[in-house]
Amino acid sequence: MSANIETLTDWRDFYELTKPRVVALIVFTAVVGMFLAVPAWPGAIPLIFGTLGIGFAASGAAVFNHVLDARIDIHMLRTRGRPLPQGRVSERAALSFASALCVISMIILWFIVNPLTAVLTSCSLVGYAVIYTVYLKRATPQNIVIGGAAGAAPPLLGWAAVTGEINSGALLLFLIIFVWTPPHFWALAIARKEEYAKVDIPMLPVTHGEAYTRLTILLYTILLILVTVIPYATGMSGLIYLVTALVLGAMFTFHAIQMMRYPDELDRAMATFKFSINYLGLLFGALLLDHYFLFQLNL
């Protein structure tokens, strides 16, 4: 059945365009940033409207990404079933939907939250939807490293929504996601190497080979463990978070080593990719739990 924004014959196609699972993780890390920005309750206004504004912006960026990638999505097994390649949503309708989400986001953030959050969110949106998707993705095998700055912004945005400023704590949360992004995405790139090569996207395993990419994933994972220890070392978090970070880091390292030991088993690359998603959610959940149960209750 055909769907478009004018008739709304099937809202599920538009919902799919927003990449709801990805946006849920983005919003969660932003909310954690809000709670970590202050000792106690961050306030209802920044929490509710900051979450809405950041969520709408992330959804709008996802829809723009669908539009810009529609011509290559049709050639990839992982993405060819999306609404745009299948013709269930027109490009015009998707662009209208994305624009509406972004405009609503900016209105909420600028007038209800604060201008800094609106500016930072707009920069993140442009960084992902335009700079990464249009240019970096097709220009360099380091695309996900450079473009990862946009994807790492949510906790920084959440922090700014509550405090109206950014500081070392916000930048540390940003750094964690920034370092997490390459091993997360390159695991998927290995599993889908042939598809990326088919559409001339220079992902690292396409340009430098799988062995090099697997080693790079392992090295980034080790770096990630070191970075995730910094919140404890600087007094930002306590033992609850530290233990969780070390256990999750060991598990991530195990996945990376298994990918190197069994290079012919692509299922291990996909398993690493899926684990990395859970890793980030659990890590930020531990930050939140530690913040309230260790610091607020002086455990």
Residue 31 amino acid letter: V
Cα dist from 283 to 31, 174, 206, 229, whole Å: 13, 13, 30, 11
pLDDT of residue 8: 44
Mean pLDDT of 257-286: 95
Contacts of 291 (CB under 8 A, 6+ apart): 35, 36, 237
Structure tokens belonging to residue 186? 């390159």
| Beta-carbon count within 10 A of 168 CB | 10
pLDDT digits (tens, 9 = 90+) for 51-109: 999 999 999 999 999 999 988 888 887 888 899 998 899 999 999 999 999 999 999 99
Cα separation of 214 and 220, whole Å?
A: 10
pLDDT of residue 7: 44
Q: Which of 169, 154, 146 is nearest to 281 (CA)?
A: 154
pLDDT digits (tens, 9 = 90+) for 212-225: 999 999 999 999 99
| Beta-carbon count within 10 A of 7 CB | 9
pLDDT band at 121 (very low <50, low <70, confident <90, very high): very high
Query: Is it the case that residue 117 has pLDDT exceeding 80?
Result: yes
Burial of 211 (0-12, 13-18, 19+ CB in 10 A): exposed
Four-residue CA torsion sign, 52, 54, 57, 63: negative
pLDDT of residue 79: 84
The CATH code of domain 1-166 reads 1.10.357.140
Contacts of 178 (CB under 8 A, 6+ apart): 148, 149, 152
Q: Which of 157, 198, 171 is nearest to 71 (CA)?
A: 198
Cα separation of 200 and 143, whole Å?
A: 13
pLDDT of residue 2: 41
pLDDT of residue 130: 86
Do residues 62 and 21 touch, judged by C-beta distance below 8 A? no
Portion of the chain with pLDDT greater than 90, in percent: 80
pLDDT of residue 129: 86
Question: What's the first-to-final CA gap in the chain, in angstroms?
Answer: 57
Query: Is it the case that residue 3 has pLDDT exceeding 70?
Result: no
pTM of the model: 0.93
For helices 239-261 and 168-191, the axis angle rounded to 10 degrees is 20
89 phi/psi in degrees, rounded to 5: -135, 135
Cα separation of 160 and 116, whole Å?
A: 7
Mean pLDDT of 130-141: 89
